[in-house]
Amino acid sequence: MTTAREIMHTGAQCVAADQSLADAARMMRDMNVGALPICGDDQKLKGIITDRDIIVRCIAEGRDPATMKAMELAGHLHCVHADDTMDAVLHKMEQHQIRRIPVIDNDRLVGMISEADLAMGHRDGQRLTDQQIIDFMDSVYMKR
């Protein structure tokens, strides 16, 4: 049975909880990603921030991304464990209608799973069935 570890994108980098949203935006640009995990001083996962969060919850509200801290937008965190089955991962992503999810092992960030990782996992190794991909897409995109 396929696990999160087999599908995840390794090498995910955290933005520090006390770093500014401007720093987070530059990191996203430099890494060509739309979301960053937020880690505390203990290097444990504290949240996740998306490019949309920065636009909608900071800039659109007239706040300054140079002074607003990443942790201020952390929100509720959904994550999976590296050894979770892909059924469990997909269920959590579908249940919460999220497109990216951090993967942890021993309370430490070890990777991220995005829609692209799901698609690549399906294409490259047939680790996900056609039905799993269809169900994910229906759940995340059609029930809004």
Note the pLDDT of residue 75.
Answer: 75
Given this model, what pLDDT does residue 136 score? 81
Set out the domains of the chain in order of their start, with CATH numbers. Answer: 4-142 (3.10.580.10)
Q: Which pLDDT belongs to residue 85?
A: 92
Task: Give the model's pLDDT for residue 39.
Answer: 92
- DSSP code per residue over 82-108: TTSBHHHHHHHHHHTT-SEEEEEETTE
Other CB atoms within 10 Å distance of the CB of residue 140 = 17
Task: Give me 122's structure tokens.
Answer: 């399906």
Instruction: Name the strand (E) or helix (H) holding 130.
Output: helix 130-142
Token pair listed for 5 = 């570890």
* 0.85 exceeded by pTM: no
- Tell me the per-residue pLDDT of 20-41, one tens digit each, with 9 for 90 and over: 999 999 999 999 999 999 998 8
pLDDT reported for residue 139: 82
- Whole-number pLDDT of residue 106: 87
DSSP H helices in 20-129: 21-31, 51-57, 86-95, 115-125
- In whole angstroms, how far apart are CA 134 and each of 30, 84, 103, 127, 130? 32, 20, 22, 14, 6
Q: Which parts of the chain sit beneath pLDDT 70?
A: 121-126, 143-144
- Distances 16 to 22, 57, 85, 103 between C-alpha atoms, Å: 12, 18, 29, 17
